[in-house]
Structure 1
């Protein structure tokens, strides 16, 4: 009995400890590998989601540019009755506009845009429209619209009235919900205010009245120091800016110009190459986005990526980063529905 109770020898104990170490190392290696795969898959999923959200916002806005002007292609003239009608937020006659590589930006967004990225500006309607009740007196500061619940607009809202032949932009200075009375007078404290209360002619019953706004999309930096896609909307003469999604580090834009009005793009141009008169000939926009993971050290080494570079005639250029983030580029073309033949 005493011979059977002598225990393990030193060599046997060392062998057991060595085997335990091998097993623990294997388990730790599997854990690290699974953790790395999880981080990579999670980062990839977030990239794809960020790009999808950006696409949803941008494509919807571009597609519906100028939608509030109703039957856009048949309108012969648009009148802007606002003060400072050429101001950035008031240029409703230009439904699509852009700024190239963060250059020549308007003061409203000049300090917010990331250097070297493009800005997309889209103008059109939002909300629920109303109808004109009866032929209006074009020299009056009052018109009557259909009563709706909830009210389609209110005091200080900027709206468009159109009958598919002519459109006029003005600011509501007072609105009565009970009877739809809409006042658009001058000399009020509203911003920007109306330069005149006189319409170019008397719109007939059935003309559409709906709110309009200027919407800007750009890449900026959020409170956490990360690049993100932002949207800036004007509403009732003021502006609000919201972050859409993190991780969008670059946006490059090209505009399809239809020079002969046949409904087909003749060439794609950058915003810097488009003259003032050519913005009315833009029928679609090509958007290129670059997204990156928020966390660093996702990959084992610095991973080169490809992104659209105008300096190389629009070809994809391979770029080697200084970090180990994951990046993905995406490009899509969206047509302006109101300008399709």
Structure 2
């Protein structure tokens, strides 16, 4: 009877070891490729979501600001008289002027203002309030004291506006006499103070404390605001949409507070829809420098260039044109352009 004998395996030959090594290397390279591809897809998806969220928020903020601009109660800005003293030292026309509910500038070139060069910025002004504070008693003359329904939310130094359907006045509260009253004396006790009126007042009274008219019961007391939206450099070093809010109350009246709103907005270009024919429709969209009269602007069109926070998201530089020029995509960030058009509802 034949017996079969088997030799025991005493190790791997060099050939077998090399074959196993090659197979293992192929597997590792395959897994690495899958990992890299998944990571690239994840980064691209995250960057896309980031850009979309940034663009949506920035557009929403600007659209809301434009939509609510130039509100002065039931009267337009042309009939609102600014009583603030524009001769006061340090008076800032941008913050305290209220000459127009809307203003802007093209292609910033001032390297010292914190605004990215080459970008546009826009001023939005108006008043806010729900008419909760109203004139409580008709003004018998143009005295410096107004009777109101409540003064609980107001303080000495606050800049306010009183408005009816014939006109309005902007002034600074200089005192709050007892009995829910607002006082608006002239003089230099506060900055900027009041003092633009002179001459004989309607209904009698001292000329230096005149308002532009006598206000009857029911006239609204509103809170003015002044905001500038622009592109600056955020705390992280990334470009961002900013708002500079004029301070119109407290100890810092006339100064501004700069607030970073949305990170990742690289550029902003703005066109203004001007009604040149007076028919209540937009005749053409123009840059700020080409607008004849900002008071004739009915809508605003803003284009935003938004970029991802992450570098090297894309496999190759993105080809993109913004404002008629090619965008440098050598950092391989993901970029998108968002455009919004919003009407100024208080002018329609």
TM (normalized to structure 1)? 0.88
Instruction: Kindly indicate whether residue 334 of structure 2 is the aligned counterpart of residue 306 of structure 1.
Output: no
Measured in 2, the distance between the counterparts of 1:28 and 1:22 equals 10
Please name the residue that 1:140 is paired with.
143
Please name the residue that 1:53 is paired with.
57
Question: Any unmatched runs of 5+ in structure 2?
Answer: 198-208
Please name the residue that 2:276 is paired with.
259
Measured in 2, the distance between the counterparts of 1:175 and 1:47 equals 49
Please name the residue that 1:314 is paired with.
none
Task: Select which of 100, 117, 134 maps to 2:106.
Answer: 100
SS of 1:20 mapped into structure 2: helix
Measured in 1, the distance between the counterparts of 2:26 and 2:183 equals 83
Cα gap change, 1:262 to 1:338, in 2 (>3 Å) = same
SS of 2:37 mapped into structure 1: helix
Measured in 2, the distance between the counterparts of 1:145 and 1:295 equals 55
User: Residues 220 and 228 of structure 1 are in contact (CA less than 8 Å); yes or no, is this contact kept in structure 2?
Assistant: yes
1:171 to partner: Cα distance: 1.2
Q: In the TM superposition, what are the counterparts of 1:28-67 in structure 2 within 5 Å?
A: 28-67=32-71
Instruction: Kindly indicate whether residue 335 of structure 2 is the aligned counterpart of residue 333 of structure 1.
Output: no
SS of 1:4 mapped into structure 2: coil
User: Residues 138 and 215 of structure 2 are in contact (CA less than 8 Å); yes or no, is this contact kept in structure 1?
Assistant: yes
Please name the residue that 1:91 is paired with.
97
Cα gap change, 1:56 to 1:179, in 2 (>3 Å) = farther
Deviation by residue 1:79-107 (Cα, 9 ceiling, x = unmatched): 1101118812122230000011115x7xx
SS of 1:200 mapped into structure 2: coil
Measured in 1, the distance between the counterparts of 2:60 and 2:52 equals 12
Please name the residue that 1:210 is paired with.
222
Deviation by residue 1:154-188 (Cα, 9 ceiling, x = unmatched): 22221111112101111122346x74321222224
Q: In the TM superposition, what are the counterparts of 1:134-283 in structure 2 within 5 Å?
A: 134-147=137-150, 151-175=152-176, 179-195=179-195, 196=197, 197-235=209-247, 236=249, 237=253, 238-275=255-292, 278-283=293-298
1:137 to partner: Cα distance: 4.2
SS of 2:40 mapped into structure 1: helix
Normalized per residue, which structure has more strand?
A: 1
Measured in 2, the distance between the counterparts of 1:189 and 1:294 equals 49
Instruction: Kindly indicate whether residue 123 of structure 2 is the aligned counterpart of residue 121 of structure 1.
Output: yes
Please give the root-mean-square deviation of Cα atoms over the aligned residues, in Å. Answer: 2.2
Measured in 2, the distance between the counterparts of 1:140 and 1:110 equals 44
User: Residues 47 and 328 of structure 1 are in contact (CA less than 8 Å); yes or no, is this contact kept in structure 2?
Assistant: yes
Cα gap change, 1:171 to 1:113, in 2 (>3 Å) = same
Please name the residue that 2:299 is paired with.
284
Question: Any unmatched runs of 5+ in structure 1?
Answer: 310-316
Total equivalences in the alignment: 322
TM (normalized to structure 2)? 0.86
Please name the residue that 1:81 is paired with.
83
Measured in 2, the distance between the counterparts of 1:194 and 1:143 equals 15
Cα gap change, 1:76 to 1:9, in 2 (>3 Å) = closer
Bigger radius of gyration among the two: 2
User: Residues 75 and 168 of structure 2 are in contact (CA less than 8 Å); yes or no, is this contact kept in structure 1?
Assistant: no
Measured in 1, the distance between the counterparts of 2:342 and 2:112 equals 26
Measured in 2, the distance between the counterparts of 1:284 and 1:330 equals 17
Measured in 2, the distance between the counterparts of 1:291 and 1:76 equals 37
1:223 to partner: Cα distance: 2.8
Cα gap change, 1:133 to 1:212, in 2 (>3 Å) = same
